[in-house]
Amino acid sequence: MTTLSDPPKSDFRIGMLLSDTRYRSYTFQFIALMAIILSVSYLVSNLLANLDRLGQDLSYEFLGAPAGYDINQQPIPYNSQDTHLRATVVGAMNTLIVAFLACVTATIFGVIAGVLRLSNNWIISKLMSVYVEIFRNIPVLIWLIIIFTITANVFAPIAEFRIPRDGSDPARTLIFGVMAFTNQGVFVPRLTFDAGGMFVFWTFIASIIGIFVYKSYVKKHLFATGKELPFWLPALAILVVPTLVMYLVLGRPVGVQLPEMGRFRFEGGLQLRTSFIALWFALSIYTGAFIAENVRAGILAISKGQTEAAAALGIRPGRIMSLVVLPQALRVIIPPLISQYLNITKNSSLAIAVGYMDLTGTLGGITLNQTGRAIECVLLLMLFYLTISLLISLFMNWYNNSVKLKER
């Protein structure tokens, strides 16, 4: 005969805090919480004691004070009488500019090198391996300084572009009449916007969006009816026609200003300073080597059977690439590519080594040294980079979810 007994009553005993797995995690977390609170309060008390000893406080009022220093690259108007806050914003914009441009060029370098490394031409693939290995295994800071030194020492001084007094031809002239490589930077034409120029610019942006809209319409039409609409010609028309019409209707408000040699220096045009060129190029070529490896891995990851299967279905070679191989390769390539973009953004802080005035140069460099507000400046600096990183990570998660294989 069996007797049913009640399950043992779970009286709570103190010992169960350690021995019972149900409660043990609370014990550990409590201990951890205490440890965190203790160490944080220890650090904060040290901080307060140190601040008190030095007669300092924590405040962000210095951001409103005049900065008193110049920034040599100003995407928005700025002079030395503006506030530290404005200097910070200028620095942040400079960071974003160089990071964005470097992402674009690094991708181009990386894709070219990655594809060429798989080329069946022995010399080319070996050259690309040498490029990738050399750039990946030497610190980016050294590359940055080398490229900066080269641009500052190997390019011609501006004086050589000057027209001599006797009216003879200068030692050097502009390349194609539009560009000049000098030891103070590269001079390129700049776009000038008169009244109404912004309308042309926004029309152009709208046209680019229009192309994407048209592309999705073409795709929808193809899926609905099985008929393929022409894409490239209409896309070209969408890109050019509205902008051109706007440009002519508004009376040609957008012009190109070429750099011209004045008496002592170049006037007009856009000066890309040596520090900017060096940082841009160093980040691009260094990260390009990493991207090349990602691209190569992505292409190698697609098995040959995919290409052969598509060919067996009678798909044309060009479409095999665009419809079968690339979408699968991109799924492998894009996540590491985005983390390389993240690395570029973070590495752009090396600007301080060559004097490019990015956020680290303004907020973390001169503002910090002038005001002595080390904690506040470094905290702001970190928050800026952290925000960018988190935004890029969010985008990456969204992308990963959207390309995830949909399995049923």
Partner 1 sequence: MAQDHSTAFVRTQEIPPAPPPPGETGAVHWIKTNLISSVPNAIATAVGIYVVYWLLSGLIPWIVNGTWVTNNIRECREVLAGSGGGCFSVLTERYAQMLFGFEYPSEFYWRPSLAFALLFFAVPPALFPMYLPRWMLIATGLYPFVAFWLIWGGTILTPIGALAGVMVGYYAFTKLDKYGFAAALGGGVVGAWVVWQAFGMIAGGMPGFIALEAVESRNMGGFMLNMILGVVCVSLSIPLGIVLALGRQSSMPLIKIVCVVFIEFVRGVPLITLLFVANVVLAYFFPPDSNIDLILRVIIMITMFSAAYIAEVIRGGLAALPTGQYEAADSLGLNYAQAMRLIILPQALKISIPGIVNVAVGLFKDTTLVSVISMFDLVGMIRGPILSSTDWAGVYWETWAFACILFFVVCFGISKYSQWLEGQLRTDRH
The rounded distance, in Å, linking the Cα atoms of 304 and 329 is 12
Among 61, 110, 50, 103, CA closest to 83: 61
Asked if residue 347 binds partner 1 (CB under 8 A), the reply is yes
Q: Which of residues 10-29 bind partner 1 (CB under 8 A)?
A: 25, 28-29
Give CB contacts under 8 A, 24+ apart, made by 166-169. none
Asked if residue 94 binds partner 1 (CB under 8 A), the reply is no
Strand pairing partners for 185?
182
Asked if residue 133 binds partner 1 (CB under 8 A), the reply is yes
By CB under 8 A, which span of 59-67, 131-139, 169-177, 221-229 interacts with partner 1? 131-139
The rounded distance, in Å, linking the Cα atoms of 333 and 303 is 15
By CB under 8 A, which span of 66-74, 235-243, 385-393, 394-402 interacts with partner 1? 385-393
**Start-to-end CA span in the chain (Å):** 52
Q: Which is nearer to partner 1, 32 or 323 (CB)?
A: 32
By CB under 8 A, which span of 83-91, 127-135, 262-270, 318-326 interacts with partner 1? 127-135
Q: Which is nearer to partner 1, 46 or 192 (CB)?
A: 46
| Identity of residue 363 | L
Q: Which is nearer to partner 1, 238 or 373 (CB)?
A: 373
Asked if residue 361 binds partner 1 (CB under 8 A), the reply is no
- Token pair for residue 283? 């980040």
Length of the chain as a residue count: 408
- DSSP class of residue 323 equals I
Q: Which of residues 145-204 bind partner 1 (CB under 8 A)?
A: 145-146, 149, 153
- 12 backbone dihedrals φ, ψ, rounded to 5°: -85, 125
The rounded distance, in Å, linking the Cα atoms of 116 and 118 is 5
Q: How far is the CB of 145 from partner 1 (least distance, A)?
A: 7
When binding is defined by CB under 8 A, the residue of 378, 394, 397, 398 that contacts partner 1 is 378
CA atoms within 13 A on the CB side of 341: 23
Let me know: does 320 contact 139? Beta carbons within 8 Å.
no
By CB under 8 A, which span of 133-141, 155-163, 167-175, 260-268 interacts with partner 1? 133-141
By CB under 8 A, name the binding residues for partner 1.
Answer: 25, 28-29, 32-33, 36, 43, 46-47, 49-51, 53, 119-124, 127, 133-134, 136-142, 145-146, 149, 153, 346-347, 349-350, 352-353, 360, 364, 368, 374-375, 378, 381-382, 385-386, 389-390, 393
